[in-house]
Amino acid sequence: MNTMNRSLFFGIIVLICFVNFSYAQIKAPAPFGPVPSENQLRWQEMEYYAFVHFSLNTYTDQSWGFGNEDVKLFNPEKADCRQWARICKEAGMKGIIITAKHHCGFCLWPSEYTEYSVKNAPWKNGQGDMVREMADACKEYGLKLGIYLSPWDRNHPDYGKPEYITYFRNQLTELLTNYGPIFEVWFDGANGGSGYYGGANETRTIDRTTYYDWSNTYKLIRKLQPNIVIWNDGGDRGDLRWVGTEEGYVGETNWSLLNATGDVPWNMLHYGVENGDSWVPAEVNTSIRPEWFYHPSEDDKVKTVPHLMETYYNSIGHNGTLLLNFPIMPNGLIHPTDENRTLEFGKAVEESFAVNLAEKSKAEASNVRGNAKQFGAAKAIDDNKETFWATDDNITKASLTINLGKPTMFNRFMAQEYIRLGQRVKTFTVEALVDGNWKEVAKATTIGYKRILRFPSVNATKVRFTITDSKSCPVISNIGVYNAPVFLNAPSIARNQSGDVTITTNDIGPIFYYTLDGNEPTTKSNIFTTPFLADGKVEVKAIAYDPASGKRSPVGQEKFDISKKNWKIVGTNNEKSVAILDGNPSSVWHQRDKKMPVDLVIDLGSLQNLCGFKYLPDQNKWSSGIITNYQFYVSADNIKWKLVDEGEFSNIKNNPVWQIKKFAPEKVRYLKLRALKNTSGDDVAGYAEVDVITN
């Protein structure tokens, strides 16, 4: 080699070393803190999937069966899991979790280990298997299958004894072996209490931290279904967490982290734990109706599209997944109203996020990891979840500016972290460049897998996303900017004790139109300006209308029963007691000075044909006085009382909705709601509202 060739040779070697060296320097950031497992990642990316609640409760109008309900009731003559799967698929959902066994113990599959199942029901002459039909339908529609198996079993004679755990595991084994891949298993937290228990009819308490021996059950589950995620609110930490409410929202701050041990109070469920040592992301479970099982009285209470959109933003938009429930009707189908709402909701989501305005623009970042293209700002707007914008390791504040090229209207901002490397961002802001000036349009805390922010529409040429604090250098896989259609909320309708009806909304400035004759309101109906008198039995329907956009809301509706004008609460001078009758769910009266059982006596002022009553508990689930067990008496003279109904308000703590109870008609003037027990185990009885049903 001559001198020149030699220097060229060494030059090339040096260059190769340099390139390699600098390339080697620009590695992706190291994972920070706990990271998701492959199963958790796959699950998180599903985002939206369904629950179906179907059991003997469907036939008894109950929320929780006692365990003694007759299996002969189960005869869904039109049962069609393909209908459920079709709706879920068309709505954009990715899977379905079926209540294979709810607390009553009735099994939707012909379990070998109990007689309390479809095999003794008239449906298909005992030859049916609803879990099989669900699995087949999911397969046909390309959906994943999940299983809800209630640990609490109010039918089984051994519940509370060690033998039951064997039974429970046998059932789990059947379900996790015979129906193909299962993406999620769901263990409800309701545990122990009164039940039929094979005829014992007693109360059985268990220690939820030890009774189920979850760690061994988990081993079995993971052996049978290695790709599964476990949801458990009953003891040991599973792969996913409940969010502490069934109303359909998780905290705005939502860390996908918890600690592996220790108590998990409400705030941890709801917000996660910033420095938690385990990855336990949030699943938001809620029903499309107030209750989980089908009740005909809720046919006009199906959530509206704006309500469901709100749920979407508060779940998927808050770094959670959305598990939306369909109560199956006694005939075995999803109600047409629920179907329509779900499909409209699916369309609304699609329309809202159809065009990502960031995608065709240019992005620039204040810092790019090692100045390397592979971690550049463009990677956050390339619609590829595997690439990301990352900064240098020492950076915890950084911004990324998107140039939209021309004034562009938008009202939504979406960000996603590359969670394989952990959840990092603590706070961020979004600014818009309007007429040459930066204007902050939104600010928020955590991001996680996905965060969506809403703000009034702006017409801007640039968007600046600034991470103002992060646990470690930010790693952002996707950013979206959208101009979503705005929906008007269905108005709320309330009536006070004097019979004055008020119509309200959270939206600013719409006109309300209403009807009192059951017809759908139009812009030709009565206009609501001030509260109006509509006493006695009446159905009020109302819409909100925005004259500027010509948009109208879905119909809000309320059915009111007899007038409460002359009602009196007997035996108290407490002024606060009127809260029970004021039509306002947020005002509450507590009786604190008595020992259980605590009576509430109401004088209706005149004889009425009563066939049911309604009780709305305190809407604050941590408040004392939420009644769980009751008796209901009626009287014509406040002397001779007749017991007409007794039982439990089953799921009242987690789902504090109106409790509606019916009984054979009685002509009476006085009613007595006797509280036998409450959720806090003390002597307080609290009431937000009490109402009657007359015929």
| Site residues (vs ligand FUL, CB under 6 A) | 63-64, 188-190, 285, 292, 651, 654
Are 477 and 388 a contacting pair, CB within 8 Å? Answer: yes
Give me the least distance between CB of 528 and ligand FUL, in Å please.
36
CB of 128 to ligand FUL, least distance (A): 22
Question: Amino acid identity of 383?
Answer: D
Provide, for the chain, the percentages of residues in helix, strand and coil under a 3-state DSSP scheme, each rounded to the nearest 5. 20, 35, 45
CA 37, 39, 40, 46 dihedral sign is positive
Positions of E strands within 217-327: 229-232, 257-258, 278-279, 282-287, 320-327
- CB burial class (10 A; 0-12, 13-18, 19+) of residue 101? buried
Report d(CA 193, CA 486) in Å as an integer: 46
Task: Kindly state the smallest distance separating residue 103's Cβ from ligand FUL, in Å.
Answer: 6
CB of 108 or CB of 398, closer to ligand FUL: 108
**Cβ-contact 633, 671 below 8 angstroms:** yes
Could you give the CA distance from residue 666 to residue 639 in angstroms, rounded to a whole number?
Answer: 16
142: Cβ contacts below 8 Å, ≥ 6 apart: 89
For residue 32, the tally of other CB atoms under 10 A from its CB is 15
Cβ distance to ligand FUL smaller for residue 189 or 647: 189
Smallest gap from Cβ 151 to ligand FUL, in A, equals 11
Q: Is 59 helix (H, G, I), strand (E, B) or coil?
A: helix
Measured from the CB atom, is 255 or 292 closer to ligand FUL? 292
State in angstroms the smallest separation of the CB of 466 from ligand FUL: 39
Measured from the CB of residue 323, what is the shortest distance to ligand FUL in angstroms?
8
Phi, psi of 270 (to 5 degrees): -80, -35
Q: Which is nearer to ligand FUL, 143 or 190 (CB)?
A: 190
Comparing CB distances to ligand FUL, the nearer of 422 and 656 is 656
> Count of alpha carbons within 13 Å of 251, Cβ hemisphere only?
22
Q: Which is nearer to ligand FUL, 56 or 402 (CB)?
A: 56
Cα–Cα distance for residue pair 537/551, rounded to 1 Å = 31
Q: Whole-number minimum distance, CB 332 to ligand FUL, in Å?
A: 18
For residue 190, the minimal CB distance to ligand FUL (Å) is 4
The residue among 58 and 525 lying less far from ligand FUL, judged by its C-beta, is 58
Q: Which is nearer to ligand FUL, 109 or 514 (CB)?
A: 109
Q: Which is nearer to ligand FUL, 99 or 608 (CB)?
A: 99
**Which two three-digit tokens encode residue 345?**
């909701």
- Lookup: tokens for 60: 């008894």
Q: What is the DSSP string of 593-640?
A: SS-SSEEEEEEEEEEEEEEEEEEE--S-TTSS--EEEEEEEEESSSSS
Closest CA to 412 of 372, 441, 380: 441
Residue closer to ligand FUL by CB (options 152, 560) is 152
- Residue 652 Cβ, how far from ligand FUL at the closest point, in Å? 10
Nearest to 627 by CA among 596, 601, 649, 599: 649
CA distance 289 to 307: 11
User: What's the closest the beta carbon of residue 292 comes to ligand FUL, in angstroms?
Assistant: 4
Terminal Cα distance for the chain, rounded: 108
CB 192 within 8 A of CB 152: yes
Distance in Å, CB of 168 to ligand FUL, minimum: 17
Q: Which is nearer to ligand FUL, 53 or 89 (CB)?
A: 53
Closest CA to 601 of 640, 564, 572, 579: 572
Given the complex with ligand FUL, which of 399 and 651 has the nearer CB atom?
651
Comparing CB distances to ligand FUL, the nearer of 155 and 285 is 285
Nearer to ligand FUL, 40 or 285 (CB): 285
Side-chain-side CA neighbours of residue 93 (13 Å): 30
- Give the Cα separation of 417 and 390 in Å (integer): 10
CB of 621 to ligand FUL, least distance (A): 12
Least distance CB 330 / ligand FUL (angstroms): 17
CB of 518: closest distance to ligand FUL in angstroms?
A: 32
Which of 190/368 has CB closer to ligand FUL? 190
Backbone φ and ψ of 352, nearest 5°: -65, -35
Distance from C-alpha of 367 to C-alpha of 106, rounded to nearest angstrom:
59
CB of 321 vs ligand FUL, minimal distance in Å:
14
For residue 445, the cross-strand partners are: none
CA separation, residue 670 to residues 216, 281, 567, 570, 661 (Å): 55, 50, 10, 9, 17
